[in-house]
Amino acid sequence: MPALVLLGAQWGDEGKGKATDLLGGSVDYVVRYQGGNNAGHTVVVGDQKYALHLLPSGILSPGCTPVIGNGVVVDPAVLLSELSGLNERGVDTSKLLLSGNAHLITPYHTTVDKVTERFLGKRKIGTTGRGIGPTYADKINRVGIRVQDLYDESILTQKVEAALDFKNQILAKLYNRRAIDVAQIVDEMLGYAEQIKPFVADTTLILNNAIDEGKVVLFEGGQGTLLDVDHGTYPFVTSSNPTAGGACTGTGVGPTKINRVIGILKAYTTRVGAGPFPTELFDKDGEALRTIGGERGVTTGRDRRCGWFDAVIARYATRVNGLTDFFLTKLDVLTGWEQIPVCVAYEIDGKRVEELPYSQSDFHHAKPVYEMLPGWSEDISKAKTFSDLPKNAQAYVKALEEMSGAPISAIGVGPGRDETIEINSFLS
């Protein structure tokens, strides 16, 4: 089983970090393929808690080589501070590999991100303010700066000039901000170059060779399916492709080399930032999910919006990612409810709809159709096998599996590495 993708099946924060870390001990490479430090993954190892943003969660597994692929956008200041933070805690980060083709987030990208949001006012996306959208926009617009540009001062200067030429006009004339100085940006970027150099590599070649040699490679998505710029709830999305295809474009590994695609699925639903969310709760149940589930953003500290499980979304994630398995997380959070509502379909303009509507207007009007499933009150955090779960928890998992279109191969019953029920091995 050489290559697998692990990605978010909802709106992010499904517990991808924990799932990746869990497999990290048995894989040779863990590769981020899109997004940047907008991600926030909490990984709990024993009594240690780590918050990772840019680095792949495999960095915490000693035998594993962490890789940042070409599809990732990299803020060099964040990269270096995340590395030194881990080094101070005794984590060896020397094996990290960084694609020379990855694009760099510079201070002007974060400025443009924040200014744009401010000017959108009520229509803002609620971005993380990390410069993600503007960096991908420059990449597509062919005025981006890549990691490899750090090693040619003349090219770097020309590219920063090209990027700022237009942006400075907008910043000064439209947004009434000070223009950004080219030399200052170039100096700052060159200041990171030597520290980053040992990590820079031809990651596409290395990963393809590794797969050909039978090594196990895990592609770790940031964000989630519904935040995908093509397949998500546009425009309330991030600016990259967290869906499975992103693993190919974001690393240079072809789809024929990927054997398994695992969707990380929370036993309920959360979302950060603006945009439609049919099962969102505004009552005490929503508050209870937020409190019990610890649903506060790892990156921005914002409260996450919470709601019941939405099977329409899970089915959609199965379809657009070609999921082979689900990893159901945070089942323990649902302990204590007498009955648990699950959204099985939507009602749109009086009609029952089973699949995610492609029309944004329909999705905005979608009302959840709920089925009530019996809850359980027993503590499940010590369960090691499926049969250790109370009957109603087993039935909840089976019902979700039936509705979602792919087998649930693992279940999270707590944040720790060992608080997981493995049903089918991901690596066999």
Does 36 help bind ligand GDP (rule: CB under 6 A)?
no
CB count in 10 Å sphere of residue 73: 28
Q: Take residue 146 and report the two structure tokens written for it.
A: 């890549």
- Candidate list 130, 146, 159, 266; residue touching ligand IMO; CB under 6 A: 130
Scan residues 40-59 and list those touching ligand IMO (CB under 6 A): 40-41
Does 13 help bind Mg ion (rule: CB under 5 A)?
yes
Does 40 help bind Mg ion (rule: CB under 5 A)?
yes
Known catalytic residues are 13, 41
Q: Take residue 66 and report the two structure tokens written for it.
A: 């962490």
Long-range pairs of 206-209 with CB within 8 A, sequence gap ≥ 24:
206/67, 206/97, 207/29, 207/31, 207/67, 207/69, 207/251, 207/252, 207/253, 208/252, 208/253, 208/257
Instruction: Name the residue nearer to Mg ion (CB basis): 38 or 208.
Output: 38
- Candidate list 65, 70, 128, 318; residue touching ligand IMO; CB under 6 A: 128
**CA geometry: angle at 158 spanning 153 and 159, to 5°?**
95
Q: Take residue 198 and report the two structure tokens written for it.
A: 């040992």
Does 227 help bind ligand IMO (rule: CB under 6 A)?
yes
Query: Applying CB under 5 A, which part among 157-165, 170-178, 298-306, 410-418 lies near Mg ion?
Result: 298-306
Instruction: Name the residue nearer to ligand GDP (CB basis): 362 or 422.
Output: 422
Least CB distance to ligand IMO at residue 71 (A) = 14
Partner interacting with residue 36 (select from Mg ion, ligand GDP, ligand IMO, none; CB below 5-8 Å by kind): none
Total residues contacting ligand GDP by CB under 6 A comes to: 23
- Looking only at the bridges linking them, the beta strands covering 420-422 and 408-412 are antiparallel
Scan residues 253-282 and list those touching ligand IMO (CB under 6 A): 272-273
Does 8 help bind ligand IMO (rule: CB under 6 A)?
yes
Distances (CA, A) of 128 to 25, 274, 293, 386: 30, 11, 21, 37
Does 32 help bind ligand GDP (rule: CB under 6 A)?
no
| Residue-wise burial string across 133-166, b where 16 or more C-beta atoms lie within 10 A, e elsewhere | bbbbbbbeeebbbbbebbeeeeebbebbebbbee
Partner interacting with residue 414 (select from ligand GDP, ligand IMO, Mg ion, none; CB below 5-8 Å by kind): ligand GDP
User: Does 235 sit behind a cis peptide bond, omega within 30 degrees of 0 on the bond before it?
Assistant: yes
Scan residues 37-56 and list those touching ligand GDP (CB under 6 A): 39-42, 44
Instruction: Name the residue nearer to ligand GDP (CB basis): 43 or 112.
Output: 43
Scan residues 298-337 and list those touching ligand GDP (CB under 6 A): 298, 329-330, 332-333
Binding mask 56-95 for ligand GDP (x = CB under 6 A): ----------------------------------------
Instruction: Name the residue nearer to ligand IMO (CB basis): 2 or 71.
Output: 71
- Candidate list 10, 238, 241, 324; residue touching ligand IMO; CB under 6 A: 238
Least CB distance to ligand GDP at residue 301 (A) = 12
The residues, any chain, with a CB within 8 Å of residue 118's CB and separated by 6 or more, are: 124
Closest residue by beta carbon to ligand GDP:
412
What spatial distance separates the first Cα and last Cα of the chain, rounded to whole Å? 6
Instruction: Name the residue nearer to ligand IMO (CB basis): 85 or 375.
Output: 85
Biggest alpha carbon–alpha carbon distance for the chain:
67
**How would you classify residue 116: left for phi > 0, otherwise alpha for psi between -120 and 50, otherwise beta?**
alpha
Does 245 help bind Mg ion (rule: CB under 5 A)?
no
Least CB distance to ligand GDP at residue 242 (A) = 10
Instruction: Name the residue nearer to ligand GDP (CB basis): 139 or 304.
Output: 304
Distance CA 60, CA 21 (A): 7
Instruction: Name the residue nearer to Mg ion (CB basis): 23 or 348.
Output: 23
Instruction: Name the residue nearer to Mg ion (CB basis): 13 or 419.
Output: 13
**Residue 239 in contact with residue 137, Cβ under 8 Å?**
yes
- Candidate list 3, 10, 12, 167; residue touching ligand IMO; CB under 6 A: 12
Which stretches of the chain bind ligand IMO, using CB under 6 A?
Answer: 8, 11-13, 38-41, 125-128, 130, 132-133, 222-224, 227, 238-239, 272-273
| Interface residue list for ligand GDP (CB under 6 A) | 8, 12-18, 39-42, 44, 294, 298, 329-330, 332-333, 412-415
